[in-house]
A = this chain, B = another copy of it.
Amino acid sequence: MMSPAMVRGAVRPPAVHGYSHQREEYRQRLRRIEGQIRGLQGMVEENRYCIDILTQISAATRALQEVAIGLLDEHLRHCVVGAAATGGDEAEAKFVEASAAIARLVRS
């Protein structure tokens, strides 16, 4: 039996969004980050020392940014390069969009 995502994948091929072949890896990394955030809730609940909590927040933030950098890499390799090959307004829109995403990432 196929999952809804697989059915959807059959209609809109996974390769479209570039990161699909590494989708499982990204999900696992996000699951680990979810565990870190749950761990942080436990630390707050147990009234743990602020600095230890801040160290864990820095680690989770860093892990999130690494996921973002990986996704961006795949986006550039697939969507942006693909649009650039086509050229025109669509290519321009992809460059503007990618730069805005990089800017948000740098500032967050």
Contact = CB atoms under 8 A, between A and B. Distances in A.
Interface of A: 4-5, 8-9, 12, 14, 16-20, 23, 26-27, 30-31, 33-34, 37-38, 40-41, 44-51, 53-55, 57-62, 64-69, 71-77, 79-81, 84-85, 95, 97-99, 101-108
A80 B54 CA distance: 15
B75 A80 contact: no
Contacts of A62: 108
B57 A67 contact: yes
Contacts of A57: 64-65, 67-68, 71, 105
A48 to B, nearest CB: 7
